[in-house]
Amino acid sequence: MTNSFLALLLLVPGLSLAQKPFTYHISGKIGALNAPNKVYLRNEELVDSATLTNGAFELTGSAVLPTRADLVVQANGYHPNAVMTNATSVFLEPTPVVVISEGSLRDATTTITGGPLTTEHQQLYAAVPPKATPQQYAQAYTAFIKTHPASWVSLMALWDMGVFTKRQYEEVGPLYAALSPELKSSRPGRIYGDLVQGLKATTVGQLAPNFTKKTPAGKSVSLADYRGKYVLLAFWHSCGSCRTENPNLVKAYQAFKSPKFDILGVSLDTENNRERWIKAIDDDHLAWTQLSDLDGMKREIERLYGYPGTPMNLLIDPSGKIVAANLQGAELQAALKRFLK
């Protein structure tokens, strides 16, 4: 049994529904699996599912734009936080897609065929060497984007590059500029354009964009309040892996806190994580001012600062100019010694 939806959510916030939808069709065979095994098609949220009958399945629905989705096999129902041990990625496009597997979608013997976007999607993944480093991922994706500037796969790859490495304007700016007008004028393309402008505006030498956000107690604080001193603008999130730099920030704060230097923390948490955010501040002993929008993908701060990853930081001088970026560990201590001497 399948369900049709008006649109699929891209792995990009705020997808516009103004685009003309198309019908996707995904079918295939996954070993000889039967119920209770089901195959799920998921993007940002659970989108579609079908029960496997002797391995066979069929999924049909509507999508707004060509985009990637995960195909996941689960026997005990779909759980968003479960490790996807039997899964692969497919690219939704108007041409039917066929997936054939001996049983595990992760096996090298699994084949995925379809239209031109499916072919390009497979080419992108094939270009990444086994056990690739983040740098090798970025190199493979960069090469693909340069040779496929009109492909929806390239727009997806450009977004994905932020997972592998810290986004740098010098790297992603030219890649975005070379994309086709159709890709750049699409909703996800325009959002990435905002990201590029944010990255450009926050490179070393630029004046840091001002903003006003609230503390956990509801007090409004502006970046401009820190004019006249050095301030380390530290972006983070309350999840465990996003707090790895907090011990280094605590050491820097204890060593250099003075009328000439302070830290301003900005969390990219959402309202659902308010209590976790507040608890993380206490658990990690973050004594400096903490701010957050807590309003999900509508965060102004993300647009202004090029959708920063976490953890990430910018060192801003007394005039409001960015003088250093992404300072970590001993590098942070050395930079503060240099600037605060």
pLDDT at position 317 is: 98
Which of 35-62 are b and which e, b meaning 16 or more Cβ less than 10 Å from the residue's Cβ? eebbbbbbbeeebbbbebeebbbebebe
Least confident residue range of 20-29, 80-89, 329-338: 80-89
pLDDT at position 78 is: 87
Phi, psi of 88, rounded to the nearest 5 degrees: -150, 175
pLDDT at position 297 is: 46
Q: Which DSSP helix (H) or strand (E) runs through 254?
A: helix 246-256
pLDDT band at 8 (very low <50, low <70, confident <90, very high): very low
Q: What is the pLDDT of residues 187-234, one digit of tens each?
A: 899 989 999 998 998 899 999 999 999 999 999 999 999 999 999 999
Place of tokens 């969390």: 267
State the average pLDDT over residues 97-119: 95
pLDDT at position 299 is: 67
Q: What is the 3-state secondary structure (H, E, C) of the chain?
A: CCCCCCCCCCCCCCCCCCCCCEEEEEEEEECCCCCCCEEEEECCCEEEEEECECCEEEEEEEECCCEEEEEEEECCCCCCCCCCCCEEEEEECCCCEEEEECCCCCCCCCEEECCHHHHHHHHHHHCCCCCCCHHHHHHHHHHHHHHCCCCHHHHHHHHHHHHHCCCCHHHHHHHHHCCCHHHHHCHHHHHHHHHHHHHHHCCCCCECCCCEEECCCCCEEEHHHHCCCEEEEEEECCCHHHHCCHHHHHHHHHHHCECCEEEEEEEEEEHHHHHHHHHHHHHCCCCCEEEEEECHHHCHHHHHCCCCCCCEEEEECCCCEEEEECCCCHHHHHHHHHHCC
CATH 3.40.30.10 intervals, the chain: 212-339
Closest CA relative to residue 66, chosen from 131, 167, 151? 151
77 neighbors 102 (Cβ within 8 angstroms): no
Q: What is the pLDDT of residues 17-74, one digit of tens each?
A: 346 789 999 999 999 999 999 999 998 777 899 999 999 999 999 998 999 999 999 9
Amino acid (1-letter code) at residue 70: D
Pick 195 or 319 by higher pLDDT. 319
Is residue 9 scored above 50 in pLDDT? no
Is residue 10 scored above 50 in pLDDT? no
Is 22-114 a CATH 3.40.470.10 domain?
Answer: no
Gap between the Cα atoms of 162 and 252, Å rounded: 27
Domain 212-339 sits in CATH at 3.40.30.10
pLDDT at position 84 is: 83
State the average pLDDT over residues 175-182: 97
Is residue 143 scored above 90 in pLDDT? yes
Pick 296 or 87 by higher pLDDT. 87
Handedness of CA 106, 111, 112, 116 (dihedral sign): positive
pLDDT band at 298 (very low <50, low <70, confident <90, very high): low
pLDDT at position 46 is: 72
pTM assigned to the model = 0.77
User: What's the chain's average pLDDT?
Assistant: 89
pLDDT at position 20 is: 77
